[in-house]
Amino acid sequence: MVRTTLAGVVALALFAIPALAAEDQVYIDYRQKVMSGVGADMGAISDILKHGLPYTDAIAIHANRLEDAASLIPTAFRQNVTAGPTDAKPEIWQKADEFKKAGDALAAAADELEDAADDGDPAAIQAAFKELGKACGGCHKPFRKPKEESYKKQ
């Protein structure tokens, strides 16, 4: 009897998991859109700097947007979803304090770049951008699956 019930529970769980994942998908979608926005601004600043476009004023706006985007990261990762097409590692929720610090570091680095862009010194802008890049890595390294484990490559 117990065994039958257990088997039933297991069977139910097996069916329940895909159903749950489908519901979680919308949270993954939102999260990925927030992060895509971060990537878009990083890519745009890169374009300005690497091609020397005369858009230094725009760098400050992009940096400001990155600071805002950083403030969305806690929301984007509020729902603990690691199953499905996501590269979020469970450590995000296991080490919530560290994850929050990594997000704060992004905001701080973006703020530095905004200041540098306002001042307009190319070397300082370049240096601040590199620090901003490190802030990406500072969070991705512990909290995002490497590409060999990425859902995109499976």
Partner 1 sequence: MRRGLAALGAVLAWTGGAGAVEPLPPDAARSQAVPRTARGEAVLREAGGCTCHTDYPGEGAGAPVLAGGRALETPFGFFYSTNITPDRETGIGAWSDEDFVRAMTEGLSPDGTHYFPVFPYPAFAGMTRQDLLDLKAHLFSLPAVRRQNRPPDAPPPFRWRFTVLGWKLLNFEPKRFEPDPERDDAWNRGAYLVNGAAHCGECHTPRTLTGGLDRSRWLAGSAEGPEGELAPNITPDRRTGIGDWSAVDVAWYLETGIKPDGDDTQGLMAEVIEHGFARLPAADREAIATYLRSLPPIENEVKAPERKDG
Catalog residues that contact partner 1 under the rule CB under 8 A. Answer: 38-44, 46, 49-51, 129-130, 133, 136-137, 140-141, 144, 146-150, 153-154
Shortest distance in whole angstroms from residue 131 CB to partner 1: 10
Q: How far is the CB of 5 from partner 1 (least distance, A)?
A: 28
> Please, which residue, 33 or 78, has the CB nearer to partner 1?
33
Nearest approach, Cβ of residue 8 and partner 1 (Å): 25
- In the bound state with partner 1, the residue whose beta carbon lies nearer, of 60 and 106, is 106
Residue the block writes with tokens 């995109």: 152
User: At closest approach, how far in Å is the CB of 51 from partner 1?
Assistant: 6
Q: Half-sphere exposure of 11 toward its Cβ, with a 13 Å CA cutoff?
A: 6
Nearer to partner 1, 44 or 61 (CB): 44
Q: Which C-beta is closer to partner 1: that of 24 or that of 133?
A: 133
